[in-house]
A and B are shown apart, each in its own frame.
Chain A
Amino acid sequence: MRGTTRTVAVAAVSAAALLAAGCSSGGNTPSASTSTAASAKAGGAVTVHGCTPQNPFIPANTNETCGGNVLDAVVSKLVRYNPDTAAPEMDIAEKIESSDNQNFKVTLVKGYKFTDGTEVKAKNFVDAWNWNRYGPNGTLNSYFFDVFEGAPDLDCGTFDKDQGTGENDPKAGDPDCKGKPPKAKTLSGLKVVDDYTFEIKTTEKVSNLAVRLGYTAYAPLPDSFFKDDGKAYGTNPVGAGPYILEAYNKGSDMVLTKNKDYKGKFPGQVDKITFKIYQDTEAAYKDVQADNLDLLDSVPDSALAGERYKTDLPDRNEAKAVGTFASISFPSSKADKSYDNPKLRQAISMAIDRKTIVDKILAGTRVPATGWVSPIVDGYKAGACGEFCTYDAAKAKALFDEAGGYTGKMTIGYNADGNHKGWTEAACNSIAKALGVECVATPYPDFATFRTKITGEEMKGMFRTGWQMDYPSIENFLAPLYGTGAGSNDSRYSNPAFDKLMTEAAAAADGATANAKYQEAEALLKDDLPVIPMWYGKAVVGWSTKVANVKVTPFGTFDLTSVTVK
């Protein structure tokens, strides 16, 4: 998951501050929807709200938007996401073919060049993915490459996969793999056929591989990268994208200039893009008002209240539905048994008045959820949660009594460094009123402390959770969150029927069949309700009077290739 890293990311799903930046290379045709004065002319410079990147600019080590937004303009991938619909479109790939969803053949478009002058060839993808997955390199996004055959052979010998994730155990393994090297250096599932063709074999059938390949981590790497294991690349990334990172002035800004040699399908319009680093979006917002900053991807809460941003930035704002999902999770049975009865969980969900909370506390910047999957992805089906996500105090109380009530005090945990106090308290009030129980919203000092408690299964009582998609697919809202043993399955939910449907969907021959299976799996969640759906996110953005053709992607980022200067 792209997004949350402590300071910046604490806002996680709430503030739309860090929506994943899967896409940014955009069409060169001006958007009709948001352009105010469509005097589209190329050239000029724009400034964009930025934040401090948490890692060097290496695709496999960038999992948050601060660095991701920059990198996305610098690299091109096999596919890119359409800036309006998030649907995958071929970029460097000419075609990706498969007859069985397990063996894929990728053909590249000729002529894409890295900014160091070398051409993008098949081996640049294969080498990059091998490096990204190779255990001793310890990359953040290595799990994206688990899908390829032979991935486990690249793990360091010391890691015992059966012993859980091990990330909280300082003695989890020898970091350098000293004496215990991985079995292989390359993924057996990747094979270069010729300069412009390579083959992929996946471990299991995957019906949405093409959708996944648009994520930044799958970007090709130039030969020069491997000379020093990305040390130089990390400060000066060499991509095949529409922009070049000219300078990174730590703590103040990142300057991108247009790639003059870019021959791809999605070039940029403006000559220079500067990401100005702000500690606080409040200051950035004032700068947009004063025309000192052109693009702001997250309007601060103070301006959301009473929709003040609409009068401050008339015709210069947009609230766009994005692929995020907020929820309240139940603790795992190991941590707290008191919520084990599904009827009790359903009653609690029914007792929450989502619409009122969204309108009164969140200034209408969310959409009450009717299921577990965001409406912006292909395969979304409204109403998956049915009556259990519809507020009905009387029914909730009846169900609650049927479930045998609840002894003691209910709690909803949240991290106090994000903006979660208001809505968790409101949700608690709603539950308390409808069910006649005591409910308290419990703060944890910060995101790090909060997450440590959750992953260590020490969290008693309910707690807030959020998700933002890695890639626009219904699968991404289900498999990583509710599959048995999945990485972000905070409630430790396990349902063999659900897992079976996930596997079947991945093997489905076409998109429609796959989606139907995924929807079936989503419907199962209604009966067990391991997680209460709360709402889907919206990104509220604003821009200055100096720019036109501003387009917001379903990832909540600006499409930097379509923006122009007036």
Chain B
Amino acid sequence: MGKYIVRRLLLMIPVVVGATFLIYAMVFAMPGDPLAGRCGERPCNPAFAAKFRADHNLNDPLPIQYAKYLGNLAQGDLGETFQQVKVADELQQRYPITTRLAIIAILFELFIGVLAGVLSGIRRGKFIDNLVLVSTLIVIAIPTFVIGSLAQYAFGLKLGWFPVTVSPQATWFELLLPGMVLGAISLAYVARLTRTNLVENLRADYVRTATAKGLSRARTVGVHTLRNSLIPVVTFVGADFGGLLGGAIITERIFNIRGVGGYIFQSIHSRDGVAVVGAVTVLVIVFLFMNLIVDLLYGVLDPRISHD
């Protein structure tokens, strides 16, 4: 087990370096000059353009630019954006907010999703099953920005239960509504995944054995069946956590949350390679760790899977 974890951690190093290079190269290859939109609808004056290029190493070819970036990175310096703000400062401010948002979304989708999945799984074909199926279908079919805007309008503006937008402090309470909006679509998938797996596993031999042994219904379902049925759900949720961190752009815009998704979007837009690489590298690391945790959880959920 320990050996397995060490091996996985070592493997992360080349992945992270490779990912930063790929991202850097992609931003570099994007069409459009970072200076083209900077001075309005007139070209920047040559003195400013030259200074700007020199300050941000834009005159160098890609490998040298990247080498300079890595050199700074090795000293713990993530660089400065075109707006002359330190990338590290931005990330330090934004990642905690986005993480809180993602945690709320994950908890929401796990609790409600698994509960709905179990209920509809054990009452297959009954009213509750159909209700869950139809309601999840509706949630999946509606785009996030519609759900978000509607929730903001109804619960924020009309009823006044939640703040309309999130303040710079971004407290847990303020993030509750955005988090639920963000988790809504994943919730639908979690419910459906849980239900399908549960229904399948309920027909398995070991469940019949458990029932024949005289175990209570709650124990048969809750311990024996559900544990096995959760493997695909855990895989999904693990990957989803990373996705929610970087992909919450729409929710962040609607509720004016100063998160990572919007930051990456803006930076790509302004061809700000340093900012994009910094933010995405952290995302890559999060993804890698989530993957590791998910793989380790497999062993816990199903003892037949071993990492030794």
B-binding residues in A (CB < 8 A): 1-7, 9-10, 12, 52-56, 63-64, 135-140, 142-143, 155-156, 159, 165-168, 170-176, 234, 249-253, 277-280, 282-284, 286-287, 289-290, 292, 417, 445-452, 455, 465-468, 480, 487-488, 490
Contacts and interface: CB of A to CB of B under 8 A. Distances in A.
A488 B41 CA distance: 6
Given A175-B54, A445-B31, A452-B32, A1 B42 contact: yes
A172 B270 contact: no
Given A172-B50, A251-B168, A286-B157, A140 B44 contact: yes
B43 interface: yes
B58 interface: yes
A275 B280 CA distance: 29
**Which of A63, A279, A449 has the most CB atoms of chain B within a 10 A radius of its CB?**
A279
Contacts of A142: 45, 47-48
Interface string B36-63: 1111111111111111111100110000
A4 B45 CA distance: 15
A250 B40 contact: no
B268 to A, nearest CB: 9
Nearest to A165: B43
Nearest to B255: A283
Given A54-B83, A172-B50, A292-B165, A480 B31 contact: no
B46 A165 contact: yes
A398 B55 CA distance: 56
Contact of A172 (B32, B49, B153): B49
Nearest to A60: B48
B41 A249 contact: no
Given A138-B48, A448-B270, A449-B36, 13 more contacts: A4-B37, A6-B38, A12-B40, A12-B41, A64-B40, A135-B47, A159-B47, A167-B35, A252-B258, A292-B165, A450-B32, A468-B40, A488-B42
A277 B31 CA distance: 28
Nearest to A283: B256
Contacts of B270: 6-7, 448
A167 B44 contact: yes
A52 B83 contact: yes
B43 A55 contact: no
A290 B83 contact: no
Contacts of B90: 250-251
B41 A466 contact: yes
A384 B271 CA distance: 40
A171 B59 contact: yes
A283 B253 contact: yes
Given A165-B46, A175-B50, A451-B41, A251 B258 contact: yes
A172 B45 CA distance: 11
A282 B38 CA distance: 24
A282 B50 contact: no
16 contacts: A136-B51, A140-B48, A167-B35, A168-B33, A176-B54, A250-B90, A277-B258, A279-B253, A283-B164, A283-B253, A287-B256, A446-B37, A446-B269, A449-B36, A466-B41, A467-B41
B33 A448 contact: yes
Contacts of B36: 447-452, 455
A177 B83 CA distance: 23
Q: What is the size category of the interface that chain B forms with chain A?
A: 35 or more
Given A6-B270, A252-B168, A286-B152, A278 B256 contact: yes
Nearest to B97: A251
A138 B54 CA distance: 11
A250 B93 contact: yes
B52 A138 contact: yes
A10 B149 CA distance: 23
B32 A449 contact: yes
B34 to A, nearest CB: 7
Given A251-B90, A286-B157, A9 B37 contact: yes
A465 B270 CA distance: 20
Nearest to A182: B47
B154 to A, nearest CB: 12
B254 interface: yes
A253 B165 CA distance: 14
A55 B48 contact: no
Contacts of A56: 84
B85 interface: yes
Interface in B114-129: none
Contacts of B33: 168, 448, 451-452
B269 A6 contact: yes
Given A170-B58, A448-B33, A490-B41, A290 B156 contact: yes
A140 B51 CA distance: 10
A63 B37 CA distance: 12
B27 to A, nearest CB: 12
A172 B46 contact: yes
A292 B258 contact: no
A1 B149 CA distance: 35
B157 A448 contact: no
B253 A282 contact: yes
Contacts of A175: 50-51, 53-55
Contact of B165 (A5, A287, A447): A287
A9 B266 CA distance: 12
Contacts of A278: 165, 256
B121 to A, nearest CB: 39
